[in-house]
């Protein structure tokens, strides 16, 4: 297997090692491969969606929280947003739960733009089927 080096804050490395030990993964690489597969499956489900869809997005922001650029992205896609909840985390960051409905390709673009923002730690997206 090819070897890939990654950079991460020390706090993430500590969390990786704790999870690696607690969850019984054989190595750090095993944890990272598992996380990558989960992220790719989530991305694939959104990329392959067609027509009108509804999604729930959980957006986690860094310690200083949401910045003006993140607000601009949400404003750009505001016609898709049907509900939001913003909360502060105990560790100093914050998160939002965003419910959005619209054309699948527009929601996919929205998620991609959110992920690309400097202040965004992660965006988890789940399609809602009712």
pLDDT tens digits, residue range 4-46? 888 988 988 998 998 888 888 888 998 888 888 887 877 777 7
Per-residue pLDDT, averaged over 83-96, amounts to 88
* pLDDT score at 8: 87
What's the start-to-end Cα distance of the chain, in Å?
Answer: 41
Q: Residue 123 belongs to what H/E stretch?
A: strand 120-128
- Do residues 40 and 70 make contact, with C-beta atoms less than 8 angstroms apart? no
E-assigned strand segments in 10-119: 52-61, 81-88, 94-103
Residue 122 CA to residue 35 CA, distance in Å, equals 12
Q: Residue 126 belongs to what H/E stretch?
A: strand 120-128
pTM of the entire predicted model: 0.74
* pLDDT score at 54: 94
């Amino acid at each position: 297997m090819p070897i890939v080096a990654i950079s991460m804050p020390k706090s993430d490395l500590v969390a990786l090692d704790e999870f690696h030990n607690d969850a019984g993964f054989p190595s750090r690489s095993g944890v990272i491969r598992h996380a990558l597969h989960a992220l790719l499956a989530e991305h694939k489900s959104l990329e392959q969606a067609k027509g009108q869809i509804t999604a729930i997005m959980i957006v986690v922001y860094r310690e200083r929280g949401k910045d003006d650029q993140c607000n601009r992205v949400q404003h750009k896609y505001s016609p898709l947003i049907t509900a939001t909840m913003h909360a502060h985390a105990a560790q100093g960051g914050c998160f939002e739960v965003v419910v959005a409905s619209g054309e699948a390709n527009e929601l996919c673009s929205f998620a991609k733009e959110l992920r690309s923002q400097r202040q965004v730690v992660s965006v988890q997206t789940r399609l809602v089927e009712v």
